[in-house]
Structures are given as structure tokens and as C-alpha cells.
Amino acid sequence: LDHECNFTSNRWRWETVYLFTEFKGKPMCLVLHYNTTQKDKYEKCTGAARAAIVADLKGKIHRQHSLFTKTTTVQESALKASYVVTLELAKAKKPLSDGEMVKRCAIEMARSFGDDNMATNFGTVSLSCRTVTQRIFNIRQHVEEKLNDVMNDCRYFSLVLDEGTDVTDVSQLLIFTRTIDSSFEVHEELLKLVSLHDTTKGTDIFNAVKTVVNEHGGFSKLSAIVTNGAPSMQGRRTGFAGLLYQSGVGCPVLHCIIHQALCVKTINFSQVMGVVTKVTNLQGGNRALNPRKFVAFLEEVNAAYGDLQMHTDIRWMSRRKCLERFFALRTELPVFLEDCVRCDTSAYCHKLRDTAFLYDMAFLSDITSHLNNLSIQLQGRCQTVSDLYAHMSAFWRKLALFRDKNTYLFIQPFPLLPLLVLLTIVCLSGEKHTTVGYEQTQMPKRHKTFQLRSQEVVNQLIRPAGASDGKSPGSGKSTDHTVESFKGN
């Protein structure tokens, strides 16, 4: 009896006599109610005919299962595609009604390639305006849940505040957060975007930040705050920093070091930028179609660039490109000003042919390039305070190296200067030497708070917390750090 009931050893008997088969490890009837209603129909079939019937019944079961599986897979893929397209529409700031247009385009592309099955699959993707709206709401809920989990699981977090105005002239307060958990896993996310419709005083910013932080457990885990340096942020009494200290929160508040690194604003070369800006605006204005004439003139003489770049003091990082193009076109500009501009440009032409002015412009362009590189190094995700401290320390030492005239024997920190003098080593003049030295002494003063805080972290990285002075990390002391040892840094 046991041998008779063993399906594996009696598979043929179970399938041909009893019309039973095994499907995914479980027994399955090929014909329901065989003994009561179907026995007379199949009992007369024997031998090869019965084996063919069994094979046909087994094939039907597999086809039915494949059909249901395929339908489920297509539905899941269509749902995933709907969310993917919705996310792309949101990132591109496109109208929600564009989903239907994307769907029609996808169907037509599939038909153009002759893939009717794929066109049918694209037709199952729901991208109506109402559906896209619901998808965005679901994505928002999912992001908020994940962000809440990150904030609840973290041991400490820091905040970055930036306040600006959008295209509708409404002030927006962006609150970014960086968290760290017990396993030293770091997350950087946008915590909240708060609209400030009335005023942007320190009290408004403080109340907005307080509301957001209280939603995630309060200030107990807060280790540091970085602001963009606006007066409403940095005020000691009515500013955000002052109100924060008055409320009993003692975490350090740092000014954005990228703004503090704008020592280009302290370089006394305003006469150079004044001439560059005036000449650029002169050829870029609508005076007798000067822009078109200038572009055609540069094409005719095969100049290195096809046009000058406009400059504003707000976008200070564009100064490098503006000066670089202006310097490259230093020979073409006087010719154009004399021949194609109606107003008196003799003073500008004299400046552009003055060697001292060209030296100043080349020096300003080169030093601005170094400042731009520093700003780029300070930006980016997942940088620790030790990384920023390394960038700043390297730049301070680089300025000291630039002051040494012997540096030019080995490197060329100012590549545009040698273009003015051939076969000679260009050294810094007294004025430029003083400028570099001034920046070398002023930058640490502007970054005093950041330097002190970052030095504390560097000391903890080099020497474990609790180790006595004079003891190296390898002197038998434990070098295992905990999250608590870095709190506030």
C-alpha cells in the first residue's frame, strides 16, 4: 500500500489511471470528479490515446498558470513604469497632464520598431492627470516615512539652512539634514521646504526650524547648524543664531564656509573689473547692433572665443570665465572698439594696450581660478568636516607657497602671466605679492570658528578621546571611537 501511494515511484500509474499529477510539489487533479461524473468519458480511452489525453490536460494546466503569471507580471511592470514616469515628470517640473503625451509617444515608438506586443504593454500604463497626482502623493508619503525612520534611528543630526526667493517672489527656507546612526551610517537629505509668505526675520526662521525639528524629536540630538550667513540668520539678538541660544540650544552655529571663502571680494583689483565690465557691456549692449558685429568680427579673425561672457558681482564664480575670455581676446578688442563702436573708446583701448593693466588682469584671472577650484572642492555630498578642513588647510599653505618667488622655478601657479613675457620667469610684483600675503592672513580670520571646530575633530581622529597628552594612538590605548565622542563636531 505504501508503494502504491508513493507518487514519485508510481508517477505513470497516478497520471494514466487516476488522472492525477504533481504541480509545484503538490498533487493536482487533471479531471475533477473523475469517479462520479467523468469516469465513463475517459475510461474507454486506453494505451497511447489515454497518454495523449493526459499530456493535453497537463499542458492546459501549465498554459493557464503561465497566463496568470504573465498577466501579473505585466500589471506590476505597468505600475512600476507609471511611478517611474511620474517621478521623471516631477523632477523635470513638467505639467502632470504630460503623462498622457509620454504614453502616446511610447506607444508610437514601439509601433515604429514593429513591436506590437510592447505597444500593447505601453497602453496598459496609467498616466492620466489624476493617476499622476496620486502617484506623486504616494511617493511623498513614502519619502516622508523613510525620512522619519532615518531621523528616529539616528544618534545625532546636524542642519543646514538656506533661505532664498523662488520665481513667484515667495521666500523659501530649505532645511537640509545630515544624520549619523550607531553604525556610523550617514544620510544627507532635504528635511523640509518651508514657505515664508510674510517676513523673513530671525523670529520667522527660528519658529519654522523649531516646528520642523520638534516633529522629529526636538533639539536633543542636534549637534551643529550651518547657515547661509544672512543677517537674519547670524544676528546675535534677533537673528536665528541669537534666538537659538536664548532658547537653550547650545550647539555651534557656523557660517557657510563657501561664502566665507569669497576672499575674491577683498582683492583690490576693482579697476580691472571695472574696465572689463564696461567694455563687455559696451559690446554687449544694443548700440548699433554691437553684439552681432562683434560675433561676426571674431569669426572673421578666427579668434579663440566667439563672444565675451557677461559678469555680475552676485555670480562671482563667473568672474574666472569672464576674465579668461577677455584676456584671450585682448588683441581683438581694441581693434573692434576703434573700428565698429561709434562712441569714444580711446581710454579703453589705451588700457587694453597697457602692459601693467594686462598683468593685473592675468593675475586676477589666475587667482580667481584658484578660488573657484577651492569652492568646488568645498561643495558636494558626503564630505566630513575633516575633508573640508583638509581643503582649507591645503589652500592656506598654497597661498604661502605662491608668495615664494622661487616657486616659479618649479611650478607656475599663475599660468596666464607667462603669456605676456616670453623666455623669462615672471615673478610677483610688490602689489601682487602683498595681495597674496593679505589673503593668506585674512582667510584664517574669516574661518576662525570653522577652524577651531574642525581642529577639535581632527585631534579626536588623531588621538582617541580620553588618551593623555603625549600618548600616541598605538600606545596600548583603545582606538575605537563611538558616535558620542564626535558629538557636536
pLDDT at residue 422, as a whole number? 39
Cell numbers placing 255:
557660517
Cell numbers placing 442:
585674512
CA count, 13 A, side-chain hemisphere, 131: 18
Q: Is residue 467 scored above 90 in pLDDT?
A: no
pLDDT at residue 468, as a whole number? 45
pLDDT at residue 94, as a whole number? 92
Q: Is residue 87 scored above 90 in pLDDT?
A: yes
Q: Model confidence over 300-324: pLDDT tens digits?
A: 656 666 666 665 554 555 667 777 7
pLDDT at residue 420, as a whole number? 52
Which of 300, 454, 483 lies closest to 386, judged by CA?
454
> What distance in Å separates the CA atoms of residue 241 and residue 252, rounded to the nearest whole number?
9
Tell the residue number behind the cell numbers 545625532, with chain if given. Answer: 156
DSSP code at position 470: T
pLDDT at residue 367, as a whole number? 77
CA count, 13 A, side-chain hemisphere, 95: 6
Q: For residue 449, name the pLDDT band (cuts at 50, 70, 90).
A: low
Q: Model confidence over 9-50: pLDDT tens digits?
A: 556 556 665 566 666 656 666 665 555 556 656 666 666 766
172 DSSP β-pair partners: 164, 195
Mean pLDDT value across residues 50-59: 72
pLDDT at residue 427, as a whole number? 42
Q: Model confidence over 200-216: pLDDT tens digits?
A: 888 999 999 999 999 99
> What distance in Å separates the CA atoms of residue 274 and residue 269, rounded to the nearest whole number?
9
Cell numbers placing 28:
493536482
End-to-end CA distance of the chain, in Å? 77
Helix ranges, 92-155 (H): 98-112, 116-123, 129-153
301 burial (CB, 10 Å; 0-12 / 13-18 / 19+) is exposed
| Average pLDDT of every residue of the chain | 73
Beta-carbon count within 10 A of 436 CB: 20
Q: Model confidence over 161-197: pLDDT tens digits?
A: 988 888 888 889 999 999 999 888 889 999 999 999 8
Residue 271's identity, in one-letter code, is Q
Beta-carbon count within 10 A of 185 CB: 11
> What distance in Å separates the CA atoms of residue 450 and residue 388, rounded to the nearest whole number?
9
Burial 212-241 (b: 16+ CB within 10 A, else e): bbeebeebebbbbbbbbebebbbeeeebbb
Q: Model confidence over 369-389: pLDDT tens digits?
A: 877 788 788 777 777 777 877
> What distance in Å separates the CA atoms of residue 23 and residue 185, rounded to the nearest whole number?
46
> What distance in Å separates the CA atoms of residue 295 and residue 32, rounded to the nearest whole number?
86
Q: Is residue 351 scored above 50 in pLDDT?
A: yes
- Residue 27 has phi, psi (to 5 degrees) of -70, 145
pLDDT at residue 63, as a whole number? 66
By mean pLDDT, which of 125-129, 156-160, 379-383, 479-483 is the weakest?
479-483
Q: For residue 84, name the pLDDT band (cuts at 50, 70, 90).
A: very high
Residue 94 to residues 84, 129, 133: CA-CA distances in angstroms?
Answer: 14, 12, 12
CB 476 within 8 A of CB 464: no
> What distance in Å separates the CA atoms of residue 375 and residue 262, rounded to the nearest whole number?
9
Q: Name the pairing type of β-strands 222-227 and 156-165.
A: parallel
CB 160 within 8 A of CB 176: yes
Which of 375, 406, 402 lies closest to 391, judged by CA?
375
Mean pLDDT value across residues 230-255: 84
pLDDT at residue 141, as a whole number? 92
Mean pLDDT value across residues 152-158: 92
> Any idea what the Cα angle at residue 488 is, between residues 483 and 489, rounded to 5°?
80
The domains found in the chain, sorted by start residue, are 2-69 (no CATH), 156-255 (3.30.420.40), 265-446 (no CATH), 453-486 (no CATH)
